[in-house]
Structure 1
Amino acid sequence: MSSSAKHGTTTTSSSSIDPAETASSSSYFLPELIPLVASRLTTLQDFFALRAICRTYRALLPLSQSNLASQAPLLLVPHKASSSEALFHIPLRRILRFRLPRTPLAHRDPNNAEFHSFGCRVAIEDSDAMGSHLELHICHLLTGQQVRLPDPPKDYEGIIFAGDLVLTFNRYYHTVRYCRIGGKDNDWRAARCAEGYGLRDLISLNGTLYALIFPNYCLAVVELDNSYVVLSFLGGELSAETVENSSMLRLAECRGELLLISAVRYPVGYQVFQWQSGDRKWVRTTALGGCSLFFNILQFAGCLGPDHPAVQGNCLYIIKYNGQCIKYSLVDGSSHELVADYPGQPRAWVLPSIC
């Protein structure tokens, strides 16, 4: 994938995961069997190799959630052989051939970058050695689509993707900054919350922005009205005890349902609460219907459905600040570190089936 996206424009290039398409007209499987074959493949290399056999196969295998449903979650990790990153396949303990497009700043100081992701979209923040100049490079790792957003806000807490919107926020500044990709310009705009309110976390679900609002730690719907954040409060205030005993509060979703994840200090572990809109409150749950939730250091990275072949259901997969990658079971409260043979700390989760 090329890193030569022009200022303020979106370009598309073929992914380096995808082998060169052949001109072969022979068929090894009946066309109607191709989606079934793809559903059994668990590596992107095999999936793209199948697509590359002929144009018929490629047409039958668009980059859709159903065709990629069996793909394992991947970790974006440093690559020891280059200044770029690689995708690590945890079940196979294997590095997938891959070259992540980077901005010119990254080549000056490759260690001065931050990564954020949701599904297959990755946002890379690069800065020069002095941290005086920033660029945000957003890439779709399967399609190769990429866009460069100059001068992103500083001191934000994660990147939120909401359709064609990219949003950042900072709880201490009471401000949301947002940029619309694909519009006439890629300028960042600022929208401020009403006096006294701040955003602890933000998530986009079914076309709606939800926020956890402090100081009362209640749930609200967020609308952006030019330079203002309009809040519609839904209730669900958290008790002072819950807030004080939590080292992390993150909004998430599972099969269209809104969740709140709390990392508790005592006893050490994680708690999951499901939003009950009728009762306007959070209700604790220990089951995710067999689904699994994935978290980067600063934000929710996606949900994989039940019976996924590469993950354990009813679990949280979390990248921690210290670089650990853990799996926490909601069934028995056990926590296991995912030990993998890759250099350096994991950057972010990449979930191919969320494309």
Structure 2
Amino acid sequence: MTLQDFFALRGTCRTYRALLPLSSSNLAFQAPLLLVPHKASSSEALLHIPLRRILRFRLPRTHLAHHDPSNAEFYSSSCRVAIEDSDAVGSHRELRICHLLTGEQVRLPDPLKFYEGIIFAGDLILTFNRYHDTVHYCRIGDNHWRAAGCDEGYRLCNLISLKATLYGLVLPNYCLAVVELDNSSVVLSFLGGELSAETVQNSSMLRLAECHGELLLISAVRYPVGYQVFRWQSGDSKWVRTTTLGGCSLFFNILQFAGCLGADHPAVRGNCLYIIKYNGQCIMYSLVDGSSHELVADYPGRPRAWVLPSIC
């Protein structure tokens, strides 16, 4: 079954929705999708890039989103999307986690302001801001956010959940650390891997990522313009630059890593980074030859987030 079939059947009636299979075998080679604004409605749609086709999908909205859909922000992990809706002045906000294939939704407590993305770690949801020393977190089903503070002088630049472990890039020296939450405290176990001043100064973006269980660091380089990938070598406690992903491809939303597709995936090019940029561009960057290509598609407004059915 293709995703086109899936969404066409899902839109017919509840009986079909209940019978639709969501097995790993059915989803294994489905193409990555872009969540984009929809021309004919105030909601979003899913864009199949290889086919340049809008799938028959509509995202349920809250009353805030119907009032002004442009105020919504989106953060994704595989097929789960965190949606933040706010009113025109930002005085009232709502946050939901939605599984885009099943339609299942969970409402979270009203989110705190000034966070940099949302990190998914199973049923644990985290937010942070590199300019503050506090991480906020809650589990799906909780009725409030909890605050956990880093020791004085430390702040988190980036976070990722890998094999049930949280890793963080810690300021001021950009060290790698295992991050644990102990009620109101962030416990950091430093692993090393300090970045040189030259690497930091020549980077406009640093993101943690993973590929087949290996921890990666992605740097957007100012000169020469492009991207560099580093693998974590635990034995030597350092980052080592690499120019290959073993044929895999990595996907990034504006603020965070979205997922990795394997080397045998037919819908993407291997050893490439697929990136949604701040200016609304969606690009594919090749680690093989350093080339960058914009993924041109006919949709209005900027893309919201990647949706990766094959890793649900």
Same fold (TM over 0.5): yes
SS of 2:27 mapped into structure 1 = coil
- How many residues are paired up? 307
8 Å CA contact 1:252, 1:259 repeated in 2: yes
The alpha-carbon deviation at position 66 of structure 1 amounts to: 3.3
TM-score (norm 2): 0.95
Match of 2:220 in 1: 263
In the alignment, is residue 213 of structure 1 matched against residue 213 of structure 2?
no
The alpha-carbon deviation at position 142 of structure 1 amounts to: 1.1
8 Å CA contact 2:175, 2:194 repeated in 1: yes
Q: Residue type matched to 1:265 in 2?
A: R
8 Å CA contact 1:292, 1:315 repeated in 2: yes
Q: Distance in 2 between matches of 1:306 and 1:73?
A: 14
The alpha-carbon deviation at position 104 of structure 1 amounts to: 1.6
The alpha-carbon deviation at position 307 of structure 1 amounts to: 2.1
| Residue in structure 2 matching 1:311, options 243, 263, 268 | 268
TM-score (norm 1): 0.84
In the alignment, is residue 143 of structure 1 matched against residue 89 of structure 2?
no
8 Å CA contact 1:102, 1:137 repeated in 2: no
Q: Output aligned runs, 1:198-347, within 5 Å.
A: 198-347=155-304
SS of 2:173 mapped into structure 1 = coil
SS of 1:66 mapped into structure 2 = helix
What is the root-mean-square deviation of aligned Cα atoms in Å?
1.7
> What runs of 5+ residues in structure 1 fail to find an aligned partner?
1-37
Query: Counting strand residues as a fraction of each chain, which structure ranks higher?
Result: 2
Q: Residue type matched to 2:37 in 1?
A: P
SS of 2:25 mapped into structure 1 = coil
Structure whose alpha-carbon radius of gyration is higher: 1
Q: Distance in 1 between matches of 2:212 and 2:44?
A: 30
8 Å CA contact 2:72, 2:84 repeated in 1: yes
Render the CA deviation track for 1:59-101: whole Å, top value 9, x for unaligned: 7x74233321110000000001000000000000010011112
Q: Distance in 2 between matches of 1:292 and 1:249?
A: 17
8 Å CA contact 1:103, 1:137 repeated in 2: no
Match of 2:74 in 1: 115
8 Å CA contact 1:325, 1:338 repeated in 2: yes
8 Å CA contact 1:134, 1:150 repeated in 2: no
In the alignment, is residue 69 of structure 1 matched against residue 28 of structure 2?
yes
Specify whether residues 325 and 48 from structure 1 end up closer, same or farther in structure 2 by C-alpha distance, changes over 3 A only. closer
Query: Percentage identity across aligned positions?
Result: 85
Match of 1:33 in 2: none
Match of 1:153 in 2: 112
Render the CA deviation track for 1:245-283: whole Å, top value 9, x for unaligned: 000000000011000000000000000000011111101
Q: Residue type matched to 1:331 in 2?
A: V
> What runs of 5+ residues in structure 2 fail to find an aligned partner?
none
